[in-house]
Amino acid sequence: MNKESLLITTVILFVLLFPPSCMHDEEDYWPMGDGKRWKYSTELCSEDNCNKGERTSLIDGQEVFGGKKYFKFVSILSKASDQEIVYMRKAKEGIYLHAISKDKSESEALILPIPSTIGKKWNLVSHESGLSLEIIAKEALYLPDKKYENCLKVSLKAKYTEGELKGIESDGFVYYAPDIGLVKSLTKVPPDRTYSETLIEYKP
């Protein structure tokens, strides 16, 4: 896997694995349900050269393993033959992910505590990077065609532990809108690579 593919794969995992959500009377920042679909415009830039594309994420039913029921999240890039699949479930104490890899024998991990409050910090170690996250704001997000109210802004910091990016540290942010989920993300990898995604369509 080349550096560009590894970067995109890592970012897809970021936005799929860390979807803020509330199970109480506050907003639900990532609704889960079979058939939901999100479509994003993507842009990967390196050395003043930018490639645009699209990514579609959808929930394709549910599966049960380990005695628990999970939603199956599938993510497809317009210019790639591969797809990313992760399994997630909601519980009153947070969002859980079952296996970053395809080996369902692995145990699940708590990827976001609930409630999702400003200042909350947490860490997760994947097979490719160590991740540090923090909810830093609740604010409006302005995009060229729309304004999203009461979004959660989450900062992301990663240090890659394997592959061609080993030893490199990246940072970025994601915005999640109530009752929609991810609407904007940006990841910066030194010295000059960036990857961004912007929501262009959501079908509940």
Domain boundaries, the chain: 3-203
pLDDT at 49: 93
Average pLDDT over residues 95-121: 74
Asked which of 14-18, 58-62, 102-106, 122-126 is least confident by mean pLDDT, the reply is 14-18
Q: Would you state the pLDDT for residue 139?
A: 96
Confidence check: pLDDT of 24 > 50? no
What secondary structure does DSSP assign to 97-135, as a single string? Answer: EE-SSS-TTSPEEEEEESS--TT-EEEEE-SSEEEEEEE
In this prediction, residue 20 carries a pLDDT of: 37
pTM over 0.85: no
CATH number of 3-203: 2.40.360
Looking at residue 65, what is its pLDDT?
82
Q: pLDDT band at residue 19, thresholds of 50, 70 and 90?
A: very low
Q: Which pLDDT value is given to residue 5?
A: 57
Q: Would you place residue 79 in the very low, low, confident or very high pLDDT band (cuts 50, 70, 90)?
A: confident
Q: Compute the average pLDDT of residues 56-61.
A: 95
> Which long-range contacts (C-beta less than 8 Å, at least 24 apart) are formed by 98-107?
98/65, 98/66, 98/68, 98/70, 100/13, 100/17, 100/126, 100/127, 101/127, 104/65, 104/66, 107/66
